Structures are given as C-alpha cells and as structure tokens.
Structure 1
C-alpha cells in the first residue's frame, strides 16, 4: 500500500471513493525517470516533478521503489558507523570546518579499523535516499497503474471502522482467503449468503490500540478479495472527524492486480512452533474441514483427534465469546489459545477451554486439554 498521506479521494455527501488513475501516462512518466536515476533520492526528486499532483507522483514512485533492487549493505555496520560519527561529534563539538569534519571521520575510521572513504560512504548510506539503485523492476505502466489503484483502496480502508467483503463460495479461493486472514491474525466473522460468503472485519479505527499494525495487516488482505472473479467491498471510513461510506465491486472498479501474495506453509511462527511441539506426541491435522454453524463458516487452525484448536490474534472479550459460542453450538470440542499481549480490552474471566499464553503457547500449558484426544504417532 501507499502511505496514508498520499491517499487521493473524492467525496460526495456521505460517500467516498478513491481518485483512481484511469490512464497510464502518469505511471509511464514515473517509470521513465527511474531509468536515469542512480540513487533513490534522485529517483524520488525526478518522479515528484512528473506531475503537479504531488500525492499522485509520490504514490506511484513509492510503489515502484518498493519493487526496486537496491545495493546490499551491512545494516549493522552502517548503524554502527552512524552512531560512532555522532558520538565522536558530540564529544568534540559540532564540526564547523571541513578540516574538523575530516578529523571526525578519521577518528571513527581508526577506531573501527576501516578506511576514511569507506566510513564516509557508510555514513551517507544510513540515509535511504543515498542508496544506489541496482536494478529496476520488470513493471510496465499498466502494471504500475493497477498496483496504484489497489493501493488507493488499501490506504482508504486503513481508516475504516468496519469492512464487509462479499465473494463467491469457491473452495480454492476461500481457503486462500481464510489462510491469509488467519496469517494476518485479523478479527472476522463469515456468513453464508446463498452462493456467496460475506466477511465482516473489525476495522483498525475501531481498535483500542495497535491501530497501525492492525490496519497494515488488514490492507494486505485486500488483494485476496479483489482477485476473485466477483467481489464487493463495503466499509465505513473515518476521515478527519467525519464518517463516510465506501462501496466498490468488480463491476465498477478499474483493473486491479489479480494475483495475491501466496500464503506460507504456516500462517505464523506461533502456529509453526505449536505444531512442532504437539506433533511429537499427537497426530495433528492442519486446517481441517470447515465447520458451519448458524450459516457461518469456521476453519480452525488444527485438529487433534476430535478436538479443534484455534490460536487467536487480536481479540476482545466479545469477539472471543462469539467465536467460542458458534463452535460450542455445533457440539464440537475446541481449545482456544489467546495471546495476552494482543488483547484489545481488559478481561476478567474466560470460558472453559480457553488458555491465555504469553509470547507463544507451550506444551505444558495445553497438554491436559489435548491429552484425551491425543493419539501417539506410530
């Protein structure tokens, strides 16, 4: 996505929509200036001059820059050089002449066992705009335009109170979407609507804390929705002090990228570690069959015998209660593991078979719950 400062929208009453890019000329100009730029700073300056609309040119440049290959640096060494230079300058006083500046670099070089020219170069590389561009991405104007229009939707939804997404109940696509939802550890409720599924997500603006982190993860989910053949997104967004309604679909949206980022083998390191520990003792099935309760669909993280196991990310007591009750209604035994540090509100008591963990769940915390369902591997 692009920084929220680069978001361009059109408002009409209570309705809001991104200002999509409808032709490729602006994208083509940004790609063209990138071909002659040697450093990130040169590219940014040249790209900004391609359009009087700074939000547009900066947004396009930001997306293209994210796909560039930059020179490889030893980040730890760069940080150390920068720290030593400032430390030495602080001790000796701010350099007022070129000679005093050279003396600081000489002292740092001697202390670190490096050449003076190398120290100067590494010091400058601490600033991203001084990094050299090694290779431009294989992205044409059409590709960059599609990426930009998608990024506008993502940036707008970063300001949402809630989001509703509707798409066909295609097993392959839904599984990919659910894995992404779980991997980004988002709060959601899914409901069946005939041949479609409707997902409702708590928006980042509704969160009590960790808004930026949650909003970024929610924005990453958008390509999984818009890559479906048919899709609709509806949201309430807050811009300034006013609330607006946003609605978009495959019928009205401009062309967008179709291929979402593939999900990894495990959705998180916490799930991977849980699987590693428990699978030593039990047969563990990842992402078992969906459970449908009152028209809602639920895919747990794991299944051990007849026991379903769910690892919950960001949560509130009400969200946890809803999630727990829908599985109980189906008469399925479930163990819910929740991260204490990701709670979005205070809690006083928990339902049965709900375990709070710090950092990551340990086998000793859950063994008594899984033991009755655990079958030793042969």
Structure 2
C-alpha cells in the first residue's frame, strides 16, 4: 500500500475520488523508466536508487505519481539486504572501542579503520567504513528485482490509491449480490485475518449485506482499523458483483478541503475495474468437496448443486456451508461436509451449527473423526446427519434432501 503523503484524490460534495492512471503512453513510459532505474542499480545502495528517482521527478507536477510507483516497486518487486560478511553492529562495536579516548582527526580515523579491519578479518579500511552503517535503510543493497508488467503496475497503483482512502474509514458497508461462482468464504476468511468486526444480513438469492464498524466516534482514532479495511479490499475484488460504501473521517490537514466537512464518503462497485493482487480462491477447499462435486455432476437429477452461496449468521460468527442444493421449485437445502479432525475445530463447527438454529443443513460427517474425543455430540442434529467412509455419496445426500423439503 501507499503512505498517506502519496495518496492523490479529490473531494466533490463530500464524495472522495481517488487518482487513477490510464495505460497511456506517457504513464507506460514512466514505468519503463522506473524499471530501468531499478535494473541499473542491482547490487547498488538504496540511496543511489532514490537519487535517480528524484531526477525523474524534475519538471513534473505529478511527482507523487513517480514516488508512488517507485514505492510499490520497492515494496512488491524488489529485495534489499544488508551487505558484507560482518554484522554492522559488530563493526561499530570494534571501531568505537578502538576510537575511544582518541582525539578525532583524519589520520587517526584511518588508523582505527585499519585496525578494525584486521581485527574483524575485513579486507580493507574502506570496506570497514562501508560496513559501519550498512544496516541503515539507505545503505542497504538491491539484491533482487522482478520487473512487473507495466499495465499491472498501473493497476496496482490504482488499487493502492483506493486502499489508502480506507485508512480513515470507521464504517464499511458491502452489498455482495448473487454471485456465481460464489466467493464469500474467502471474503469471510480475510475479515477474520484482519480482525474486522462483521455483521451479516440477507440471503443467497437477494445477496448479503456485510457491515464492518470501526471506532464509533467520528473523532476517535481510526487509523488502525482503517488499515485493516484497506488490506481487506483486494479480497473483495474477487467477489463478482458488489457495492461498497465507506464513511471516512475528513482530512483536516489539507488546505484545499472544506473544514466544515464532518464526514466523507467513499463509494466503489465491482464495475469500477480495480484489479486484485491477492491470489484467486481455490475452487474447492478439499478433495472431499471436489470429489462430491464431480460425482454429483454425473447424476441425473433435477436438483442443482451450488458452491458456498449462503452465509448463515450466528451469534459469535458466520457459517458458510460448503454447498447448497436447489430444487426447481425454489426450495433448498444446505450441505456441510465435516472431514477435518482437529478437536477444537470440530467443537467450534458444531457449536456454531447448533447456535444457528437452522434445520435445513445436512451434516456429512466422516467416520474417521473421533467425535467423542472432541467432546462433540451430534444427537442435537437428529436425522440431518450422514456418516460416510472415504467418499460422500451424492445419492444419499439427495435422498435426505428430499425428505427434508417434504417434511
């Protein structure tokens, strides 16, 4: 992501619009120039690299574009390391010990460096001097650079500008419309990863509303929560149809903004063309699920099998069943495959299912699991439990689904 001072945006009637870069020849040429700077400085020091960046800024009113692209290249495509064979801290300790109590002058400095070189097994006093502060950021060396596709870097810049608007967000509302294929599980995984507080409402047919609230006060500290929201945004881009509305604390430190503004709004949709750099979610989470899907596809049935299209809100969490079986008349049954063995996972899984109060969920449980050892009792789920060995037979699942919609 980008630091706050490199964010570029405008505000119209309280609505924030981030800066975006088109793949125009001038922007592509700038990317090419920046890539060339990196490639010419392999094994060179960071401060030398940054000096060339500053040269590219000369005469440009959009110098923050140069700095923003360079920042992304440095963080995403490059690797810097402390050079030398001796740790800088060890070099400093030796040099300062030898120099202690001696009046500083050029001759004495050279003597100290030479003595330190011999003591440390370094080739020369010049190398000792180079190692002295080699661990400072501007003294680190560029040891790897992977040049990106120019268009993908411009897309990454655009997304970073959008992410940056969420740094000051204290509330985020996402409407995830009906999606095929569904990506809700990854969405919820990232909310948990970044510690976001989520309230879920809605259903699989009309879509879900996810509300993520940060600090309640408009004037309270929002940066930490806003940073988590910003990190979450690339995951949202994998959902195929959505709208986002964020409430932001206004920037009072900018002279061109309206000091009377009490709140800004940031709006995005899946049609805005942002591209995620997070990996695509896997089609299936396990061989059990992929095998069940494959076997179901070979059956002749009027039922339709859908992947993870339903979110089931429960106190203390959200359940995303593995499948939904949809009957032509509109009725549906959810299917949750429980094949993971860890006791704490099993206890939490069944506890959430129990709290949900849903009676339209079929539980397919592997006989290999030691439910008794995990302290799990499936009696509460009555006839909705199917035990299976090795593979899950879709015929057995459909028979139970038929009984559930008839009952």
Query: 1:223-242 counterparts in 2 under 5 A?
Result: 223-241=234-252, 242=261
Distance of 2:162 and 2:358 partners within structure 1: 40
- Residue 373 of structure 1: aligned partner: 376
Distance of 1:140 and 1:205 partners within structure 2: 41
After TM superposition, give the deviation of residue 22 of structure 1 in Å.
2.3
- Residue 35 of structure 1: aligned partner: 39
- Residue 291 of structure 1: aligned partner: 312
Q: TM-score, normalised by structure 2?
A: 0.59
Unaligned ranges ≥5, structure 1? 265-286, 310-325, 333-369
- Residue 248 of structure 1: aligned partner: 268
Distance of 1:144 and 1:112 partners within structure 2: 43
The counterpart of 2:65, out of the listed 56, 64, 72, is 56
Of structures 1 and 2, the larger Rg is shown by 2
- Residue 159 of structure 1: aligned partner: 168
Please give the secondary structure, in 1, of the residue aligned with 2:164. Answer: helix
Q: 1:27 to 1:305 in 2, by over 3 A?
A: closer
Distance of 2:80 and 2:68 partners within structure 1: 22
The reply on whether 1:137 has 2:180 as its aligned counterpart is no
Query: 1:73-112 counterparts in 2 under 5 A?
Result: 73=82, 78=87, 80-81=89-90, 84=93, 88=97, 91-92=100-101, 96-106=104-114, 108-109=116-117, 112=120
Please give the secondary structure, in 1, of the residue aligned with 2:236. Answer: helix
- Residue 303 of structure 1: aligned partner: 346
Q: 1:144 to 1:203 in 2, by over 3 A?
A: farther
- Residue 386 of structure 2: aligned partner: none
The counterpart of 1:46, out of the listed 41, 46, 52, is 52
- Residue 185 of structure 2: aligned partner: 175
After TM superposition, give the deviation of residue 106 of structure 1 in Å.
4.5
Distance of 2:65 and 2:166 partners within structure 1: 18
Query: 1:262-281 counterparts in 2 under 5 A?
Result: none
Does the CA-based 8 Å contact 2:167-2:227 persist in structure 1?
A: yes
Please give the secondary structure, in 1, of the residue aligned with 2:151. Answer: helix
Distance of 1:70 and 1:108 partners within structure 2: 29
Does the CA-based 8 Å contact 1:234-1:248 persist in structure 2?
A: yes
Does the CA-based 8 Å contact 2:83-2:141 persist in structure 1?
A: no
Q: 1:207 to 1:120 in 2, by over 3 A?
A: farther
Q: TM-score, normalised by structure 1?
A: 0.63
Q: 1:248 to 1:306 in 2, by over 3 A?
A: closer
Distance of 1:303 and 1:139 partners within structure 2: 43
Q: How many residues align?
A: 295
- Residue 21 of structure 1: aligned partner: 21
Unaligned ranges ≥5, structure 2? 253-260, 283-307, 322-343, 360-372, 379-407
